[in-house]
Amino acid sequence: MTGAISSNIMQAVGSYAAEPVFDAAHVGEAVAHMASRPSARIGGILVE
């Protein structure tokens, strides 16, 4: 899904550069973790 932007894509300044991407499995793990918590009040998640 992100294959096209992880290579070279035109930036706002007109140059070409790779966009940072992360594995969708990490997103799934984070969502599953949040869903398993007893309270639905999760203020945020840290992406490092």
Residue 33 located in a structural domain: yes
Residue 47 located in a structural domain: yes
Residue 15 located in a structural domain: no
Distance CA 27, CA 20 (A): 15
Domain boundaries, position 41? 22-48
Residue 2 located in a structural domain: no
Residue 6 located in a structural domain: no
- For residue 48, the model assigns a pLDDT of 59
Residue 41 located in a structural domain: yes
Tens digit of each residue's pLDDT (9 = 90 or more) over 7-48: 788 889 999 988 888 888 888 898 888 788 776 666 676 665
- For residue 19, the model assigns a pLDDT of 82
- For residue 13, the model assigns a pLDDT of 93
Residue 45 located in a structural domain: yes
3-state SS assignment for residue 29: helix
Please, which residues bridge with residue 9 across strands?
17
Domain count, the chain: 1
- For residue 26, the model assigns a pLDDT of 87
Please give the model's pTM, rounded to 2 decimal places: 0.49
